[in-house]
Structure 1
Amino acid sequence: MSNQYVPPLAINFVWNIADIDVVNPIINAVKNNFARDKDKPFSRGLNIPIFYFSSQNPNEIPQTGPASIAKKNIIFIFTSINTTGREIWKKYIEAFSKSQNIHIVPIAVDRNGLVHAGALTGLNCIRVYDWPTENKDLYAIVSLAHEIYRYGCISIDPADTGKSSSITIFLSHAKAGDTGKLHAEEIKRFIDDTNMNRFFDSTEISPGSQFNQEIEKSVQVSTLVAIESDAYSSRYWCQREILCAKQHNRPIIVVNSLNDYEDRIFPAASNVPCIHVLSDSPISKRDILRILAAAILETVRHFHSMQCLELYREIGWIGSDCDLSARPPEIRQALKVIKSDNLKKICYPEPPIYSDEADWHGHVGIEAYTPLWNASEKDCFARQRIGISISDVQGDGFASNHLHPDLLIRLAQDLARHLLARSATLVYGGDLRPDGFTEFILDEAAILKERIRGELQIIENHLAWPLYVSEPEIVSWRARYSQVMKTKEHEIPADVAAGIPERLFLLPNSPENSYVWSRCLTEMREKSIASSTIRICAGGKLSGYKGKMPGVLEEIVLSLNSQKPIFLMGAFGGVVENVCRVILGKDVPEALTEEWQVSHNASYSDIQAIAKNHGHGCEYTEIIELLQQQNISDLAARCGLSEQEYIQIMDSQFIDECLHLMLKGLKILSLGKP
């Protein structure tokens, strides 16, 4: 069994910045549906790795191109006058490699984008310029999601023209009444003008065929769209179609189009996505697109979830003694698993359901869990005080860093969720900006506390003077997060306190004041790191900070000097990426030199001069020497990991892999076993 993590699917977007007005809404629409929404961290959405390739100048290309990092890789290339008319861009995208696991989909922004050669020769384009002006967001989701389904979820013949590998939509509807039948007819007509397939009703069953067999045969290969009208749940065949889809583990969505009242929702028509549309006829084109977008997205989520679960089992993250489910388990499914499959465990995708919803599991003798969470681990980190060193990174237009900034937010949310659920205390040194990392972590803790219906360890939010002097803001934060946050206020160090009123907010508007800030930030970081047992680091600004060096860099240096276990997640860019490069024996990044810092931070040379005069300056040469002296085997051993596993956590661009390795190491440190 190999423990190498190669995700089932990765998506890549490539575009010229000159096309950003057309490209950005499309990318955002797709990103918001295929990468987990940072504003809905407990949603049951897709979480496909997405990478971005562009630049800040139309005449410059990204430093690298998309690579084969998953079992299947899809490259969406936005082509236009700006990619055909700029020679550097033309050569860049036409030189892309194609292979059995790399599929290129050109998206023509204008007609000039149709004429690319090289890797794009003969490829049919998605034609954005043909989309109607209205509903472009939904056309983007439907068009791109369908290609992701075809090339990412199923195996197709390279010569396939599209129809035979397309998604099949089963339109389940009541024949009685008007709403269900009329909506289904409109959706059918729309689908017939696309390269999708559909099953509509009994008129499509050949004479002499067994009615029930043909219906069930069609359901077994389809995504079922249940058009829930007033009569739907009371109809026998509607119930049969739902039950058949559940029995064969098919994707399902419910379209709520009630006109008035339904006396009983059919229980099996639950635990699936639901979209509401008006009962008025004819159904609008936008509502048809919304339904198809929801159906294709759920289909991709369903297949991708199963592929991920199968991968996790293959590489040993979950055991072979469990059933895999694309949805949280249901009673019928649990009874079948126990009786027919002789299993007592079900593994379903993240995130875990509320504990109240899971209370029936024990009554039927089933254990249900997700790949990264099992209720038996609730208190396993109770003695750990885990410091979080995560902050945002400066973007470069995706020229060298091809991850979206939202990924760091999702990493912080996932860390908070999994560590707090296992009773760890989180130690975070952060400010109180709206939409800052402090707020994301605290919001995650507040949601988790409600979700697990139990006590959580408090998050310690460490604040340096004078960040806590703004009293109304502090009072507001303490009131809002009183159940999950404890604020630790650190006093101004004695060597800079003379003559400064303690309750006066000091602006960092001069080198002298900025030096005072740097001393206060160092004081806070020394105390918070001394009080923690473990440190987790990712991202980190390389310029635009308030201390004597980038904040995450200072926390790394302090942690290394105290020989604390430190997890360095370098693939997310910023300070930690630069630190990992040095530790791994690569070249010294310019950003970790005083010359680069002086040239990228206003007044930094003046602040450094004052700091060095008082014996508190930042010596970048010494920092580089410290990093170069680190032995990866020692760093790994302190974190409960092998050397290879530690290198994986330094290099991995995938949150799931980083979390799995980090949790594995922490369990060994806390319990003495993986």
Structure 2
Amino acid sequence: MSEPTVVARDALAGTRVGFSVSESADLGRLGLTELHCQLVVAEVTRAVLLAGGTVVYGGRLKPEGYTQIMLEEAQRFQDGTASIEIVLAETEFQKLTVDELDAAQQRLGRLGRIRYILAEGREVPLSALPTTPRTVSPIDALTAMRRIVTQSTDARVLVGGKLRGYAGREPGLIEEARLSIEHGAVLYAVAGFGGAAAAVSLARASSRPAWMPSLFPDAADTEPVQNAMASLHASARAPKSAWDGLDDADRELLERTHRPADIATLVVRGLANVGRRRA
């Protein structure tokens, strides 16, 4: 893939971008696979890093999946500055020993850092992790991690996301979108891969886009998802977050495109425009 040089290298200096991504049940009907989501992750991560921004991802270390893709991009393009943050919920870091967590941080080196969030919502260093695994609620642990990520980022990118079989009190990407809206962060919902990101995009639209197939995204009409969407609408600034730096044509393209380069270009261009306005 070509390098997405879309703005000046320092255009996103000081900008912290949260990434929310997982496979969606709609990929098959759209003629896509999880590989297409992975390509988006690589392209957007690369573009943000090249523009001087920081990527923040609430994920996991094993299996690495999207985490590894982000780290590979950091290793290819960064000059040793901290640019990737992996934020672990307590239910995730409990799966590894302290030695394994320390080794993971050593592999990161100056490229980034790993952050540890206790289920009660407090961030602690590796040296202060509980010496024995605690019994914690996975729902509380995930929500605590998502709140910390939101509070420490300026923007969030949503791609895919489960609407069935998710871990947490509601679909993770919908919860993250709601938290971002309440925080006043810039929100980019990439609807072209379906899933929770498409549900968020549809909730924020004035009308249903012509390109969306019927009964899309899958499971959007189920009671748990409808309840989650009601919470999204009831949030302080719903259904719109901060200005995204895009015009209507760009926003429509971001909503429907499957092309990783288009998505990366639009996200970084929008954030650069937001930064210029704030300056």
TM-score if structure 1 supplies the norm length? 0.36
**Counterpart in the other structure of 1:622:** 230
Find the counterpart in structure 1 of residue 263 from structure 2. 658
Deviations 1:389-423 (A, max 9, x none): 11222367x2x232121011111111111111111
> Structure 2: how far apart are the matches of 1:554 and 1:572?
18
Measure the CA separation in 2 of the matches of 1:460 and 1:596.
31
| Identity among equivalent pairs (%) | 23
Amino acid aligned to 2:86? N
1:480 corresponds to 2:112 = no
In structure 2, C-alpha distance between the alignment counterparts of 1:624 and 1:384, rounded to whole Å: 25
Map of 1:337-486 to 2, 5 A cutoff? 350-351=2-3, 372-373=4-5, 377-394=8-25, 398=28, 400-449=29-78, 454-469=79-94, 470-471=96-97, 472-486=99-113
Structure 1 unaligned regions, length at least 5:
1-41, 43-349, 352-371, 495-500, 508-512, 598-617
Question: RMSD of aligned C-alpha atoms?
Answer: 3.0
Q: Which residue of 2 aligns with 1:535?
A: 156
The question of whether the paired residues in 2 share the 8 Å contact of 1:423 and 1:457 is answered with: no
Q: Give distance in 2, aligned partners of 1:624 and 1:416.
A: 26
CA distance in 2, matches of 1:649, 1:567: 8
Q: Deviations over 1:74-113 (max 9, x none)?
A: xxxxxxxxxxxxxxxxxxxxxxxxxxxxxxxxxxxxxxxx
CA displacement 1:419-449 (0-9 Å, x = unmatched): 1111111111111123411111112111223
Q: In structure 2, do the counterparts of structure 1 residues 473 and 393 end up closer, same or farther at CA, with 3 Å as the change threshold?
A: farther
Distance 1:381 1:589, change over 3 A: closer
Whether 2:279 is the aligned partner of 1:671: answer no
Q: CA deviation at 1:590?
A: 6.5
Aligned 8 A contact 1:539 1:572 in 2:
yes
Q: Structure 2: which 5+ runs fail to align?
A: 122-128, 209-214
Q: 1:502 to 1:466 in 2, by over 3 A?
A: farther
**Equivalent pair of 1:521/1:547 in contact (CA under 8 Å):** yes
Deviation of residue 480 (structure 1)?
1.7
Give me the whole-angstrom Cα distance separating, in 2, the residues matched to 1:667 and 1:432.
30
Distance of 1:438 and 1:394 partners within structure 2: 21
* Distance in 1 (alpha carbons) for counterparts of 2:260 and 2:59: 22
- Give yes or no for contact 2:155–2:186 (8 Å, CA) kept in 1: yes
| 8 Å CA contact 2:26, 2:194 repeated in 1 | no
Partners of 1:503 and 1:594 in 2: how far apart?
A: 41
Matches within 5 A, 1:566-605: 566-584=187-205, 585-586=207-208, 591-592=219-220, 595=223
Q: For the residues of structure 2 that align with 1:589 and 1:409, how far apart are their CA atoms?
A: 20
Going from structure 1 to structure 2, the CA distance change for 1:394 and 1:594 (only over 3 Å counts) comes to closer
Q: Deviation string for 1:42-75 (max 9, x for gaps)? A: 6xxxxxxxxxxxxxxxxxxxxxxxxxxxxxxxxx
After superposition, the C-alpha distances for 1:171-199 in whole angstroms (9 at most, x for unaligned) are: xxxxxxxxxxxxxxxxxxxxxxxxxxxxx
Q: Return the alpha-carbon distance in structure 1 between the equivalents of residues 260 and 216 of structure 2.
A: 26
CA contact (8 A) 2:17 2:53 kept: yes
Q: 1:588 to 1:539 in 2, by over 3 A?
A: closer
One-letter amino acid matched to 1:569: V
Distance 2:107 2:262 in 1: 33
Describe the SS at the equivalent of 1:532: coil
Q: 2:125 — aligned with what?
A: none
Count, aligned residues = 262
Contact 1:557 / 1:623 at 8 angstroms: preserved in 2? yes
Partner residue, 2:126: none
2:193 matched to 1:565?
no
Amino acid at match of 1:373: T
Alpha-carbon distance change, 386 to 373 in structure 1, aligned in 2, over 3 angstroms = same
Query: What amino acid is aligned across from residue 110 of structure 2 in structure 1?
Result: Q
TM-aligned CA deviation for residue 656 of structure 1: 2.2
Task: Give, in whole Å, the separation in 1 of the partners of 2:191 and 2:47.
Answer: 20
Equivalents in 1 of 2:153, 2:222: separation in Å?
Answer: 29
AA matched with 1:425 = T
Q: Deviations over 1:288-347 (max 9, x none)?
A: xxxxxxxxxxxxxxxxxxxxxxxxxxxxxxxxxxxxxxxxxxxxxxxxxxxxxxxxxxxx
User: Closer, same or farther in 2 for the Cα pair 1:595/1:619, shift >3 Å?
Assistant: closer
State whether residues 198 and 217 of structure 2, in contact with CA within 8 Å, keep that contact through their aligned partners in structure 1: no
Alignment of 1:607-618 (within 5 A): none
Shift in Å, 1:659: 2.0
Distance 2:54 2:30 in 1: 32
Larger Rg belongs to: 1
CA distance, structure 1, for counterparts of residue 151 and residue 185 of structure 2 = 9
What secondary structure, in the 3-state scheme, does the structure 2 residue paired with 1:579 have? helix
Could you tell which deviates more after superposition, 437-446 or 637-646? 637-646
Q: 1:272: which partner in 2? A: none
| Contact 2:170-2:224 within 8 A present in 1 as well | no
Kindly provide the CA deviation profile for residues 596-620 of structure 1, in whole angstroms up to 9, marking residues without a partner as x: 66xxxxxxxxxxxxxxxxxxxx943
Counterpart residue identity of residue 104, structure 2: W
> How far apart are 1:588 and its partner, in Å?
8.6
Query: Structure 1 CA distance, aligned partners of 2:220 and 2:234?
Result: 12
SS at match of 2:263: helix
TM-score (norm 2): 0.82
CA distance in 1, matches of 2:217, 2:39: 27
Deviation per residue, 1:623-652 (Å, 9 max, x gap): 36349x856xx65x7111113322221122
Give the superposition deviation at 1:660.
Answer: 2.1
Compared CA separation, residues 402 and 666, structure 1 to 2 (3 A): same
Task: Note closer, same or farther for the CA distance 1:505–1:443 as it changes in structure 2 (3 Å cut).
Answer: farther
Distance between the aligned counterparts of 1:592 and 1:624, measured in 2?
14
User: Would the alpha carbon gap of residues 456 and 431 (structure 1) be closer, same or farther in structure 2, given more than 3 Å must change?
Assistant: same
Q: Distance in 2 between matches of 1:621 and 1:435?
A: 30
Q: Closer, same or farther in 2 for the Cα pair 1:391/1:540, shift >3 Å?
A: same
